[in-house]
Amino acid sequence: MNNRENYVRKERASFVGEGKSSKNSSQRRSHLPVFAVGNDIEVTIKEIGKQGDGIGYTDGCTIIVPNANINETVKVKIEKAINTNTFKAKRLGEINKTKVFR
């Protein structure tokens, strides 16, 4: 068996979960989203995205908030799940107002 066949065989085994101990399988991350559409959460904006949207992080997820500034803490409602860890949110109100010029 050559190296390529060996590599493919290992990849297939890891994909279907063969050859893994129970310890590793219990540490796998869930593929279910942390937040549901319609949830209200608070998030602190840490970055500004390419399109000017505020980007915040909470519970291992990325929250995208339009018209938000860095270091603002805002209350938002989840509008759309982009993937299991990224959500687009609608701003409901400000909790901590900071003046930042863009």
Q: What's this model's pTM, rounded to 2 decimal places?
A: 0.62
How confident is the model at residue 31, as a pLDDT?
60
Question: Looking at the domain assignment, is residue 52 inside a domain?
Answer: yes
CATH code assigned at 88: 2.40.50.140
* 46 in the same domain as 88: yes
Question: Looking at the domain assignment, is residue 101 inside a domain?
Answer: no
How confident is the model at residue 30, as a pLDDT?
56
Over residues 32-49, the pLDDT tens digits come to 667 888 999 999 999 999
Strands (E), 49-85: 54-58, 61-65, 73-83
* 91 in the same domain as 68: yes
Question: Looking at the domain assignment, is residue 34 inside a domain?
Answer: no
Over residues 2-38, the pLDDT tens digits come to 555 555 455 554 444 444 444 444 455 556 667 888 9
Over residues 60-86, the pLDDT tens digits come to 899 999 989 999 999 999 999 998 889
Structural domain count of the chain: 2
Q: Domain span at residue 17?
A: 1-29
Rounded CA-CA distance 64/84 in Å is: 13
Q: Which residue has the higher pLDDT, 96 or 68?
A: 68
Report the amino acid identity of residue 26: S
* 64 in the same domain as 18: no
Rounded CA-CA distance 79/48 in Å is: 19
How confident is the model at residue 4, as a pLDDT?
55
How confident is the model at residue 99, as a pLDDT?
57
Instruction: Give the residue carrying structure tokens 């219990």.
Output: 26
**CA gyration radius, the chain:** 20
Question: Looking at the domain assignment, is residue 35 inside a domain?
Answer: no
